[in-house]
A and B are shown apart, each in its own frame.
Chain A
């Protein structure tokens, strides 16, 4: 992003060339191209209703990506998000079906998610376990614990008699689905957190140079614990919205490609895996681009396997073009990308 032009306005590079100098710019251009193509080719694509469905269908992915982006900016990664999401929400539903008030059950689910996130954070912060291994292993442990002790069936319907709950995933305010509103609110909260608070600045500092952040006296360990607690809580909230919109949660999502879809959104949007840069804007861009692709392909009735293929090819293209326009330098070769 630092190459995107001089601030004094002397850069005479054409606008498109400037745009194509950063991954964010490339993805933005691709998104515009896809959007225009679909709008021209598919008569029913460019309608208010479809655009709402488009954003709505990827809102949950976007919310999860916000949590992931927060961790990635601080040079971590959270592979355990889906496990935390499905186990905490499923457990809450099981508790409610066992006779506890639904609200109490939801609080228990939230506490479980946060505690799980804090334990993972502590493993990374105090145990110096690399985040990718800590969260990969923790994900399996959490899912295994859930399936063994909390619930037998993978599929848990929303407990009956809680109509208010269906509003989160199925309701509309002035014609806009509540899911989109929830995504928008969380975007604002995260934008504020990242750009206006000491917590946010510390995250960027930790991502940019963890050793320097520690030496300068930043509380990097408690910060790490907090990051994973926040991403776990985000996962829980996303799980509730998901369960509300589909009237059920399926723990099998743990075995799906969802965690890679989240990473796809984060990386495609331009949040670098080597930490220290990226913002909510990148997450929104990634989310909307994936949304345009999926929606267009669904309208075109393209086979699921081919949809996955297209997603993969687009991600590869974005990364390849990024490597060409932003060659690796001394700093990245020393840091590594992950």
Chain B
């Protein structure tokens, strides 16, 4: 009897101890091997961003988000700022090909300039994500707006206001930026595809502004002098089109000329929708693009595949902002992204 009591007591103690041990293990949690592998794969990796230039809403926004993720996940993030010089950008990419970072994020000034360099970089084993402005060369990934879609949407909006019998006239002006940029060539294709279906609409002016608001203002003033019955205008970028809008406002034609522009959805652009300077603002939503960009960076850094092996692209959704839906959710400030 005594023996069996001792036995039982020992067994109970052992079970209790084992139970406690298990419980202790449960308290400390279980190591997730996938998490460890994920973080290990990212550690010590290097990502370099080559923008058109730092210092404007789009590039500052993306860089802020990329930097935040790099800090969180422990990889290195650098910016090589060519300050609007295509030549400096090409040199930066050339030197990066020898430095061999793990991944480059490229913002192309036009569809041609970096095309060969991007091929070389991939051949050297550097993975490449292109952001918002495409090159002729497809790389591991492209994230950004579909400029053709923006052109289609802009032209459809203008056609809805200015087609025969709808507006004061069927006259439309187009303000482009830099004629060789992806944003221009693809967007113009989109615009003219739609306008072909609306033969009554006349494009009375198509001028390049070099993204300069004062140049845009001056062009629009002259166009309005020549065509006081202008019905619509399509601008290629909100930053330049503050000038276009000022000229329309100054001529007292804000109610007559329907102005469509596009941009990253910065708060400053939204202010211009609120105060009636822009009638339609097609936003490609920088915070959303930044998230997609970050996702692509991690996917490629952790992937076993070699550079250029699989090429993907994703055209992010567009937000059509008008006075009716301009709100905090659609618009952002740089401080919010930092």
Contacts and interface: CB of A to CB of B under 8 A. Distances in A.
A10 interface: no
B212 A304 contact: no
A56 B213 contact: no
Interface residues of B, number: 41
A222 B318 CA distance: 58
Interface stretch (A106-114, A147-155, A182-190, A197-205): A147-155
B316 interface: no
Interface residue tally on A, bucketed by range = 35 or more
Given A246-B242, A298-B218, A304-B209, 12 more contacts: A53-B222, A57-B221, A60-B214, A153-B56, A154-B53, A248-B239, A252-B84, A253-B212, A299-B226, A301-B206, A303-B179, A304-B207
A176 to B, nearest CB: 13
A245 B211 contact: no
B79 to A, nearest CB: 13
Given A246-B242, A256-B210, A155 B221 contact: no
A321 interface: no
B197 interface: no
Given A50-B225, A60-B214, A246-B214, A155 B239 contact: yes
B225 A152 contact: no
Contacts of A246: 213-214, 216-217, 242-243, 246
A304 B208 contact: yes
Interface string B212-236: 1110111101110110000000000
Contacts of B214: 60, 242, 245-246, 250, 253
B222 A57 contact: yes
Contacts of A152: 55, 60, 334
Interface of B: 53, 55-57, 60, 83-85, 179, 205-214, 216-219, 221-223, 225-226, 239, 242-243, 245-246, 249-250, 268, 271-272, 275, 277, 334
A47 B214 CA distance: 23
Nearest to B228: A49
B268 A157 contact: yes
By CB atoms of chain B within 10 A, which of A50, A303, A304, A305 has the most?
A: A304
By CB atoms of chain B within 10 A, which of A54, A242, A247 has the most?
A: A247
A170 B179 contact: no
A216 interface: no
A186 to B, nearest CB: 18
Interface string A250-264: 111101100000000
